[in-house]
Amino acid sequence: MATARDLNSLDDLVNQYGNNILPLQLDVNDRDADFAAIQRAKEHFGSIDVLINNAGYGLFGSIEETSEKEARDQMETNFFGLLWLSQAVLPVMREQGHGHIIQLSSILGLVAVPVLGIYNASKFAVEGLGATLAAEVKGFGINVTLVEPNGFSTDWGSASSVHTVGMPEYDGLKAAMQERTGGDFFGNPEATTPAVLKLVDSENPPLHFFLGKYGYPMIKQVYEGRFADWDKWAEVSAEAHGK
């Protein structure tokens, strides 16, 4: 939901740039509203070159602590809202023969950490959706990129976050996780702007794109460990094929 300050800023932008900006208030969980917003943007601008699906929030708490409503709400916004907007924009981009859909995922869509289980799951779902969509629409001239940020100093972990009702059994684990995110772990969100603009302007954008300096080394370390485990069990896995 936009704040009064946000709306004032939008008014200033509209006054400065006129028809080059079309601010629309939208609840991404409302599929009909998503399709209506895309149609409104198409009618206003004539085309839609880029869609950035960045709506989402963090749900903090162990899996055991998480209520059904908390879990469903997390998936509705982080996954289904992104899905509905992607579906809505695809006919526009197919008709014009080009477009770029940027899905805001996370490094937590590639590796999982404790006490963010449902958030992890929502981003793993975004990863699977994005990779499949990229293969399906490449022939229409549409690119898809999964943007995978590490931690950044936004309100994702504060004002915009939701916390489960805690169980004392998980207090120690939560404290340990908090200690792991000190120092300069959280990047400066303003520094991401040039990187995203380069991504948008690229003629051959990647499917996966890290933001921040911690994502790549973290993912590399985790995946090297996974390959080591897979190698150990490769013979057993092959035998399970049965022929």
Strand partners, 146: 103, 208
Rounded to an integer, what distance in angstroms lies between the CA atom of residue 8 and that of residue 234?
A: 59
What are the strands, taking DSSP E only, across 150-221?
162-163, 208-211
Looking at the annotation, which residues are catalytic?
105, 119, 123
H/E element holding 228?
A: helix 215-232
Rounded to an integer, what distance in angstroms lies between the CA atom of residue 17 and that of residue 11?
A: 10
Rounded to an integer, what distance in angstroms lies between the CA atom of residue 89 and that of residue 38?
A: 6
Evaluate whether 80 touches 72 at the Cβ level (below 8 Å).
no
Please name which of 56, 145, 37, 55 lies closest in space to residue 99, comparing C-alpha atoms: 145
